[in-house]
């Protein structure tokens, strides 16, 4: 009979072509999900709450991330951040994908130095084509995660998974286009990261830069300067982007009236919302909704 150490050694000697087909989850922090049409055929936009890494092994699909369309053809990687709006369609019959979903809490526990600095890059560049060798590495990583997560008798399986993710990150993922680090000093990045987290939490209620600057204990002018230097967009642009993206998703996929959408986004009235939306998009909410119904 093999001892526990032999079992562990066997579990990490894996064939990347023999990927586990069973869904596996640990609490609400980690999920490993093979392709399932009922899960991935997202005809309507859906806001995700977890970070999700999806490996496209075979086939192709059209995916919209924050209403921007990406034509994804395997081998490829799709990296989604919490708060993004996703929909998927036009999937080929031979589509084969595997996803790893991580809660915000689990990401915080793993605590990879520099992770926060990757957020904006991955947020804006979700699609990464892969080479065949990179695909094999991603499949091996997924398979290893699955084998280790399924070892429920190991009292340290969470710690093992945490460290496996760290090894994976330091060993390779940071060299992918979506994972390249910014050259900005960490202190500046931290301010911008905190700003982005605050915007995700409060954009429905707060659209003034001063609110976020007060939370960060800096002046609005300095916040705007840091955000512009780091991301290429102003703080106001990022707030506006979150508000209009949410509005566009609701106009496109919900039965809410324009007045109800204005209220949910904390605008004083429909007219004010209409002017804000038109200034940002070039068309009125009514025109936008009509264009998506054709």
| Residue range 190-211, pLDDT digits in tens | 788 789 889 988 999 999 999 9
Higher-confidence residue of 244 and 104: namely 244
* Domain map (residue ranges) of the chain: 4-179, 186-292
Instruction: Please tell me the predicted confidence (pLDDT) of residue 180.
Output: 45
Do 53 and 100 contact (CB within 8 A), yes or no? yes
Which strands, in side-by-side order, build the sheet including 85-89? 46-47, 85-89, 60-65, 68-73
- Angle between helix axes 235-253 and 270-281 (nearest 10 degrees) is 110
What mean pLDDT do residues 11-25 have? Answer: 73
| Residue range 69-101, pLDDT digits in tens | 899 999 999 988 887 888 888 889 899 999 999
Q: How many CB atoms lie within 10 A of CB 43?
A: 9
C-alpha to C-alpha distance for 37 and 21, rounded to whole angstroms: 14
Do 27 and 15 contact (CB within 8 A), yes or no? no
Instruction: Please tell me the predicted confidence (pLDDT) of residue 292.
Output: 67
Give me the architecture of the 186-292 domain, per CATH. Answer: Orthogonal Bundle (1.10)
The percent of residues above 90 in pLDDT, for the chain, comes to: 33
User: Fold for domain 4-179?
Assistant: Jelly Rolls (2.60.120)
| Residue range 121-141, pLDDT digits in tens | 777 788 989 888 888 888 888
Which strands, in side-by-side order, build the sheet including 127-129? 24-26, 30-34, 96-102, 51-58, 76-80, 127-129
Mean residue pLDDT across the chain: 81
């Amino acid at each position: 009979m093999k001892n526990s150490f032999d079992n562990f050694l066997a579990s990490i000697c894996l064939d990347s072509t023999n990927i586990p087909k069973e869904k596996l989850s640990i609490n609400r922090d980690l999920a490993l999900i093979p392709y399932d049409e009922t899960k991935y055929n997202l005809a309507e936009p859906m806001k995700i709450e977890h970070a999700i890494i999806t490996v496209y092994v075979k086939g192709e699909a059209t995916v919209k991330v924050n209403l921007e369309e990406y034509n994804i053809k395997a081998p490829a990687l799709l990296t989604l951040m919490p708060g993004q709006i996703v929909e998927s369609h036009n999937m080929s019959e031979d589509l084969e994908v595997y996803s790893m979903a991580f809660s915000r809490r689990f990401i915080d526990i793993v605590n990879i130095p520099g992770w926060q600095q990757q957020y904006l890059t991955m947020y804006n560049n979700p699609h990464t084509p892969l080479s065949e060798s990179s695909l094999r590495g991603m499949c091996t990583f997924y398979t290893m995660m699955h084998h280790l997560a399924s070892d429920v008798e190991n009292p340290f399986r969470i710690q093992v998974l945490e460290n496996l993710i760290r090894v994976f990150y330091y060993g390779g993922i940071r060299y992918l286009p979506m994972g390249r680090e910014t050259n900005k000093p960490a202190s500046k990045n931290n301010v911008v990261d905190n700003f982005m987290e605050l915007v995700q939490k409060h954009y429905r209620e707060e659209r003034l830069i001063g609110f976020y600057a007060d939370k960060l204990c800096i002046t609005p002018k300095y916040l705007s300067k840091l955000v512009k230097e780091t991301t290429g967009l102003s703080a106001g642009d990022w707030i506006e982007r979150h508000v209009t993206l949410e509005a566009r998703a609701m106009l496109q996929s919900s039965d809410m009236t324009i007045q109800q959408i204005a209220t949910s986004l904390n605008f004083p009235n429909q007219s004010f919302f209409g002017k804000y939306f038109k200034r940002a998009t070039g068309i009125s909410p009514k025109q936008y909704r009509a264009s998506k119904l054709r």
